[in-house]
Structure 1
Amino acid sequence: MKQTLSIRKYLLIGSLIFGMLFGAGNLIFPVHLGQMAGAYWLAATGGFLFSGVLLPLMAILAISITRAKGIYDLARPNGHWYALLFLILVHATLGPLFATPRTATVPYTIGFASHIPANLNWVGLLIYSAIFFGLVYYFSSKETSITTIIGKVLNPLFLLMLLAIFLLAAISPLGKASTTTITAAYQHAAWTNGFLQGYNTMDALAALAFGVTVITAIRSFKLKNDRQVAIATAKGGAVGIIGIALIYIGLIYLGATSLHHFTMAENGGITLAQIAHFYLGTFGDALLATLATVGCLTTAMGLVVAFAQDFHKRFPKVSYQRFLLFNCGLSFVVANLGLNRIITWSTPVLMFLYPLAITLIILGIASPLFNNDRLVYRLTTGLTLIPAFFDMVNNLPAILRATAPAQWLINLASHFLPFFNLGFGWLTFGIAGFGLGLAGHFLLNRQASTAPTMQGERD
């Protein structure tokens, strides 16, 4: 029997996806992008929306088309060990090493750090992150409660607070974005730099990881047919991600116009705090602290649940609760290293993982064209791995990038990899691998179809 979901349930799914994707990086990176792009904010926005919005939507569509239940299933055509390693790397990045700790350090940095003496900030972060991850663990302990908690309670509260800041900025603008300063990097490559800034949100990786969480929530609506689950995932994903796109545009514009009143900041969190204080004073500081905490709390819940679900599925001898506790505990430890260190060390990892994720997403969407042939997957992924490694080296922290081996590799890539200096060294290799894979697939299929005819002629 055909079952369909109501509009209300599609909105709830969209709200679930929105709440899990929109958090720490989604608040600070668009604003900082606006400041860097200045008058070219629209071009930079185009690139940012491509990697920060379109790619996550494509990831959800890839999961829908392949009917995968997560990262492992989507990467499985590349082989068991590749799929398992990719799963571990993505979840380590989204989990306790980078993204999940960032969900605590970002709201603390932009909402609380400036009100605490500098020499006591480590104590403040320690207390804040302990409470933060305690709440994350408590709310995430029961898998079935995540849809209600994120979709019905926290998201509306978060959206109302963010809308208040946007309304005030619309009534009394900070200035015209078209007359603001453009940094050197964005004068000639605004779109490509905006695209690369979208990596920092980690949303394409998160969309792959949240596949299992979204499908679990959708199945709770009594949809058992795989095709129905896939369609509901795609529709709900579109609702949630379009909402994120609209907020990105507003945040980038705020960042660009803020240059009329504030100087370029080290990160978007500082700028957000300045904007909130400009419009609302001390109340604005409190509003932003609450907004950031609520927004990042929803993202942290989605991250730790997806981590625990996927790892419990792959290693069933360890319970879901233990994986959940491990993630929250390690994230608490890493968070206390500080926001700047987390961002610095996450960049090279993202430059390595994102090209692999992008090609995997495209392969998943295009898989009906070549019947999910492993040859296409392996050639595309194998060739993409090469420039992705060089991109990682090129974005190492300064102390490592300056070493002789790293400089030798960077110079080598600069001479032989097209678009390497723009951060797109993987593009030509990925396209070449995909083209070779398709050619091989159709050639082998043609040979297989003609073989019986030739055998019959000989007989």
Structure 2
Amino acid sequence: MKTHDLLAIGLMTFALFLGAGNLIFPPSLGLEAGTNLFPAMVGFLITAVGLPALTLVVLGRLSSTQNLTNPLPKWLARAFWILLFTAIGPAFGMPRAITVAYEIGIRPFVNSDHLLLFSIIFSAVTLLLAFKPGHLVDYIGKVMTPLLILMLVALACAAIFSPLGVPQAPSFDYQQDAITHGLIQGYMTMDAIAAVGFGWVIIQAINAKGITEPRAVANTAFKVAIIYAVLMTGCYVAMGYVGATSAPVAANATNGGEILAKYVAGQFGIYGQWLLATIIVMACLTTTVGLTNACAEYYKQTFKTRFPVTAIIVVTLTGIIANLGLEQILAVSLPAILVLCPVAIALVLTSVVLPSLTLSNTSFTHVVVLFTALLFGGIDALNILEKTPDNIHSLFLQALPLYNAHASWLLPCLLILGGSYLKAIKKPLPVDMIN
């Protein structure tokens, strides 16, 4: 693959992940971590960048995203993908992108509610860009992403060379366990589950450049993951530093969006507000275009549906649901996202530890790991949503490792994988494999 094509796919991958949430989390972390920004950011990057990058590498090694669930029974694999694309697509991820783009990018400049009109325009532009999936790399990787990066660089340079303040003393959470708290915040970006969905778009983009041989796909996906990781790390570090130096203007801010808004207003005045609005709207647009392509590509490959028809249905549902409001979207769909995320990560880890093409007992292990992640992921979801009864919550705090880090699913899944791996390497290879 030519260098400029590889770079374009890497830039597209970065843009697909760079939604409004990715811009909002780091400033909030930076403000709270203060002088402990460095250890907090290290923890944050491990889970917010490391997990998605690992997922992209694994999917590249599998050559096809669908191979991630091939060892599962057909009905279970399809149920997983349908739930995943419904959750990150029209049920949650895409409507949230529209509402966040409106709340941060448009609402500060208007006096009345124009969400319906904005969602119609936003959805139409999404469809326009998504209708030609073969040109996705050109639209996003070669045009939109460079512009987005330039705007982020302008914001980062202002924070570095003309900061509004200096990092303050860390909040209580970041005084002793800054790395651990950063790990939790990075995990909560849920980009690992997005990586599973975006894998359909990225591998399709690699194939479109003539790369179809499995080893070549794996090597290209690895390079794409490196480009994504470098760019996303730079973005997170810059936004974290913005938050850490924003105390004079955003000391009482309640979320990262408010921190960013106050920072750019203090740094650039009205021009800063327009800059932030443009960044947010473009970041959300690249995300909705990528998710539309991922959803439509899955249904096209699995159910032989026509790409344009599926894309229209997905975007139409997105526009309708977006007008229900962000709070309602979160209340209904967030539990599903919180449960699906550990399931997706567990399947990725299973593919790393137990390659499905060489181990005969992999299918059984995949099923056991999936339901284990589903069970403990449900427990973690109830904890995050603060729905666990107090007495049971106290019991889990004492009995479940990593429960307080919202990752009680991890150790049981790793134990199952470790046992299956040891059993597999002790089992003699079949005669046909030896020959």
TM-score where L is the length of structure 2: 0.92
Could you report, residue by residue, the CA deviation over 1:94-119 in whole angstroms, capped at 9, with x for unpaired residues? Answer: 101221112222222222223333xx
Alignment partner of 1:386: what SS? helix
Question: Structure 1 411/326 Cα, relative in aligned 2: closer, same or farther at 3 Å?
Answer: farther
Matched, 1:349 2:339: no
Alignment partner of 2:129: what SS? helix
Instruction: Show the 5 A alignment for 1:368-447.
Output: 368=355, 371-372=358-359, 373-396=362-385, 401=387, 406-407=389-390, 409-443=392-426, 445-446=427-428
**Runs of at least 5 residues in structure 1 that lack an aligned partner in the other structure:** 450-459
CA distance in 2, matches of 1:256, 1:345: 33
Could you report, residue by residue, the CA deviation over 1:55-99 in whole angstroms, capped at 9, with x for unpaired residues? Answer: 1110111112222x22x3202223223222221222122101221
The residue type paired with residue 95 of structure 2 is P
Matched, 1:11 2:1: no
CA distance in 1, matches of 2:108, 2:146: 27
The residue type paired with residue 41 of structure 1 is L
Residue equivalent to 2:351: 364
1:58 and 1:365 in contact (8 A); partners too: no
The residue type paired with residue 189 of structure 2 is T
Matched, 1:207 2:199: no
Instruction: Show the 5 A alignment for 1:36-435.
Output: 36-67=32-63, 69-70=64-65, 72-117=66-111, 120=112, 123-177=113-167, 180-316=168-304, 318-343=305-330, 347-368=334-355, 371-372=358-359, 373-396=362-385, 401=387, 406-407=389-390, 409-435=392-418
1:376 and 1:441 in contact (8 A); partners too: no
Question: Structure 1 314/351 Cα, relative in aligned 2: closer, same or farther at 3 Å?
Answer: same
CA distance in 2, matches of 1:153, 1:38: 35
CA distance in 2, matches of 1:144, 1:79: 32
2:56 and 2:199 in contact (8 A); partners too: yes
Moved more, 132-141 or 343-352: 343-352
CA distance in 2, matches of 1:422, 1:222: 43
Number of residue pairs the alignment of both structures matches = 429
TM-superposed deviation, 1:208: 1.3
**CA RMSD of superposed structures (Å):** 2.3
CA distance in 1, matches of 2:330, 2:38: 25
Could you report, residue by residue, the CA deviation over 1:259-316 in whole angstroms, capped at 9, with x for unpaired residues? Answer: 2322242321111111111111111111111111112111111111001110222222
Moved more, 9-18 or 205-214: 205-214
Question: Structure 1 183/86 Cα, relative in aligned 2: closer, same or farther at 3 Å?
Answer: farther
CA distance in 2, matches of 1:28, 1:250: 12
The residue type paired with residue 270 of structure 1 is E
TM-score where L is the length of structure 1: 0.87
1:376 and 1:438 in contact (8 A); partners too: no
Alignment partner of 2:245: what SS? helix
CA distance in 2, matches of 1:56, 1:227: 20
Alignment partner of 1:174: what SS? coil
Alignment partner of 2:38: what SS? helix
**Runs of at least 5 residues in structure 2 that lack an aligned partner in the other structure:** none
Could you report, residue by residue, the CA deviation over 1:120-164 in whole angstroms, capped at 9, with x for unpaired residues? Answer: 3xx322222221111001110121121110111111111111111
Higher CA-based Rg: 1
Moved more, 188-197 or 11-20: 188-197
TM-superposed deviation, 1:367: 3.3
TM-superposed deviation, 1:447: 9.2
TM-superposed deviation, 1:238: 1.3
The residue type paired with residue 225 of structure 1 is E
Alignment partner of 1:191: what SS? helix
Could you report, residue by residue, the CA deviation over 1:376-420 in whole angstroms, capped at 9, with x for unpaired residues? Answer: 433433333332121111122x5xx27xxx556534433431221
